[in-house]
């Protein structure tokens, strides 16, 4: 959520930001509601003060004056009820619009209409040139006995899957390696609730626009998170954090759920875009300082690149263009890992700076001076997300004989196994 004073002072800037990001918001109506809300608040407070003053005077009035005063109180109460109702309606409309005003992209964000306009900033690793016909992750996983789809979809529906045998161990190895790697950087591990109230999703900017992609548990008025970012940020909602405790750094691990409403095409084949996955997520909550925020963005971005280098996976980092930014994001870098079967780099990580967008919605503040409260800044980035990361892991490390070499960094989590072999050869 943006500061309304900022919107009042920079309406054209906010309008351009919304257009660049591709969000529709009636800013003129919002500003008109803001004026109406402030005027109604002023008038309502004035009536309430007159009512309170008159009510306090009544006991001291003589009988003749008291009768008129009681009638005046009755009329003021009726007037206040009407004005309160009108104020509530205007405030409700104002709040609804405030929740869909997008954050302003940073000056360094490239303009663009699609991911084709993202700008590559770095690249690591050499794309393998196989001297045999490489298999995709579906062929490899099937031959290696790592996962299956048909039985899972029989009882769980489309885009369901089961990891099996060494597939379970490989996923757990990646998750544990990523978790330990980020924890070693000073991030506090947390395995938070994944069923949350709507307020947590609103606080982090996923509601109201993200409802179509969110699974609802209607009988309990709860929702399943699509990332532990929701829980890691929302845990500090309505708190005043001690400045000396900042920054707060967390590494969350959790199952995640997304409906992926409207997704279609090759992304839905295999393990690339599924409804349930496991993710290790970095979240930082710090001071309202742009210099710190930029440095922290690079810090958590590099943490993830280190993990990919340890997994020996070629990847590149791209600075995401305006149209690919989410509602609250000031800037975002995607890490795209090389996937041989797709013959391209595909997104596996997403690193976002949000400034105080989430903290304003969540009410996360800190005391910057004895009588001064500021909203904190938040950032997040994927450390590892499975099963998607299994695609490049299998495809890049495959061998001519159908086996897959386990990167050295994962072997201690795999009981020392250095290679996955086709089922028939075990």
Q: Residue 412 sits in a domain of what CATH number?
A: 3.30.930.10
Q: Residue 33 sits in a domain of what CATH number?
A: 1.10.287.40
Could you report the per-residue pLDDT of 133-145, keeping only the tens digit for each? 999 999 999 999 9
Residues 146 and 236 in one domain: yes
Q: Where among 72, 98, 124 does a domain terminate?
A: 98
Could you report the per-residue pLDDT of 215-243, keeping only the tens digit for each? 999 999 999 999 999 999 999 999 999 99
Could you report the per-residue pLDDT of 196-213, keeping only the tens digit for each? 999 999 999 999 999 999
At residue 281, the pLDDT reads 98
Helix (H) or strand (E) segment spanning residue 405: strand 404-405
Residues 61 and 145 in one domain: no
Residues 30 and 120 in one domain: no
Just list the catalytic residues. Answer: 258, 273, 347, 350, 388
At residue 261, the pLDDT reads 67
At residue 127, the pLDDT reads 96
Q: Where among 98, 133, 162 does a domain terminate?
A: 98
pLDDT surpasses 70 at 51: yes
- CB within 8 Å of 5: residues ≥ 6 apart: none
Mean pLDDT of the chain: 96
Mean pLDDT of 334-355: 98
Q: Confidence class of residue 264 from pLDDT cuts 50, 70 and 90?
A: low
Looking at 54-58, 169-173, 263-267, which range is the least confident one? Answer: 263-267
pLDDT surpasses 90 at 254: yes
pLDDT above 70 covers a percentage of the chain that reads 97
Mean pLDDT of 107-121: 97
At residue 266, the pLDDT reads 58
At residue 371, the pLDDT reads 86
At residue 369, the pLDDT reads 83
Please answer whether residues 352 and 378 qualify as being in contact, where contact means their C-beta atoms are separated by less than 8 angstroms.
no
Residues 244 and 186 in one domain: yes
pLDDT surpasses 60 at 251: yes
Residues 78 and 168 in one domain: no
Q: Confidence class of residue 63 from pLDDT cuts 50, 70 and 90?
A: confident
**Residue 71 is assigned to a structural domain of this protein:** yes
At residue 220, the pLDDT reads 97
Written as six digits, the tokens of 174 are 């990646």
Written as six digits, the tokens of 360 are 């304003």
pLDDT surpasses 70 at 54: yes
379 beta partners: 284, 353
Residues 267 and 239 in one domain: yes
Could you report the per-residue pLDDT of 167-181, keeping only the tens digit for each? 999 999 999 999 999
**Residue 46 is assigned to a structural domain of this protein:** yes
Whether the CA torsion 410, 413, 417, 420 is positive or negative: it is negative
Q: Confidence class of residue 425 from pLDDT cuts 50, 70 and 90?
A: low
Please answer whether residues 54 and 76 qualify as being in contact, where contact means their C-beta atoms are separated by less than 8 angstroms.
yes
Q: Where among 39, 67, 98 does a domain terminate?
A: 98
Could you report the per-residue pLDDT of 292-333, keeping only the tens digit for each? 999 999 999 999 999 999 999 999 999 999 999 999 999 999
Residues 270 and 403 in one domain: yes
pLDDT surpasses 70 at 265: no
Mean pLDDT of 149-159: 93
**Residue 262 is assigned to a structural domain of this protein:** yes
Q: d(Cα 137, Cα 154) in Å, to the nearest integer?
A: 21
Q: Which domain holds residue 143?
A: 115-425
At residue 20, the pLDDT reads 98
At residue 23, the pLDDT reads 98
- For 194, which DSSP code? S
Residues 286 and 352 in one domain: yes
pLDDT above 90 covers a percentage of the chain that reads 92
**Residue 156 is assigned to a structural domain of this protein:** yes
Residues 37 and 181 in one domain: no
Q: d(Cα 254, Cα 225) in Å, to the nearest integer?
A: 9
How many domains does one find in the chain? 2
**Residue 164 is assigned to a structural domain of this protein:** yes
- CB within 8 Å of 307: residues ≥ 6 apart: 177, 178, 181, 383, 384
Residues 83 and 175 in one domain: no
Closest to 142 in 3D by CA, of 160, 166, 158, 172: 166
**Residue 107 is assigned to a structural domain of this protein:** no
Could you report the per-residue pLDDT of 366-380, keeping only the tens digit for each? 998 888 999 999 999
**Residue 103 is assigned to a structural domain of this protein:** no
**Residue 246 is assigned to a structural domain of this protein:** yes
């Amino acid at each position: 959520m943006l500061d309304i004073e900022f919107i009042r002072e920079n309406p054209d800037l906010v309008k351009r930001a919304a257009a660049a990001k591709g969000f529709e918001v009636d800013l003129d109506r919002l500003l008109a509601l803001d004026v109406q809300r402030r005027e109604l608040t002023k008038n309502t407070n004035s009536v309430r003060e007159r009512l309170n003053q008159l009510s306090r005077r009544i006991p001291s009035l003589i009988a003749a004056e008291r009768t008129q005063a009681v009638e005046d109180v009755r009329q003021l109460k009726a007037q206040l009820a009407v004005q309160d109702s009108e104020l509530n309606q205007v405030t409700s409309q104002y709040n609804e619009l405030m929740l869909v005003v997008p954050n302003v992209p940073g000056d360094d964000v490239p303009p663009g209409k699609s991911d084709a306009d993202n700008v590559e900033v770095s690249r690591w690793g050499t794309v393998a040139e196989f001297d045999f016909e490489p298999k995709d992750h579906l062929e490899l996983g099937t031959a290696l006995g790592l996962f299956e789809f048909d039985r899972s979809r029989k009882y769980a529906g489309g885009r369901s899957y089961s990891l099996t045998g060494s597939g379970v161990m490989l996923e757990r190895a990646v998750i544990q390696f990523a978790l330990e790697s980020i924890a070693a950087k000073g991030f506090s591990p947390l395995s938070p609730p994944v069923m949350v109230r709507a307020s947590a999703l609103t606080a982090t900017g996923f509601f109201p626009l993200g409802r179509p992609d969110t699974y609802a548990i209607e009988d309990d008025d709860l929702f399943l998170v699509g990332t532990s970012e929701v829980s890691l940020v929302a845990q500090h909602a309505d708190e005043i954090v001690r400045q000396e405790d900042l920054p707060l750094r967390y590494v969350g691990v959790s199952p995640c759920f997304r409906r992926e409403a409207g997704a279609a095409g090759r992304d839905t084949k295999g393990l690339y875009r599924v409804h349930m996955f496991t993710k290790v997520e970095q979240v930082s909550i710090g001071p309202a300082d742009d210099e710190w925020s930029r440095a922290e963005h690079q810090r958590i971005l590099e943490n993830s690149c280190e993990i990919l280098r340890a997994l020996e996976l070629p990847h590149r980092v791209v600075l995401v263009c305006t149209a690919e930014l989410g509602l609250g994001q000031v800037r975002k870098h995607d890490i795209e890992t090389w996937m041989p079967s797709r013959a391209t780099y595909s997104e596996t990580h997403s690193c976002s700076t949000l400034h105080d967008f989430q903290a304003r919605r969540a009410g996360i503040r800190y005391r910057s001076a004895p009588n001064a409260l500021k909203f904190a800044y938040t950032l997040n980035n994927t450390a590892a997300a499975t099963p998607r990361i299994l695609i490049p892991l299998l495809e890049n490390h495959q061998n001519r004989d159908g086996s897959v070499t386990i990167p050295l960094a994962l072997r201690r989590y795999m009981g020392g196994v250095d290679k996955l072999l086709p089922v028939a050869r075990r």
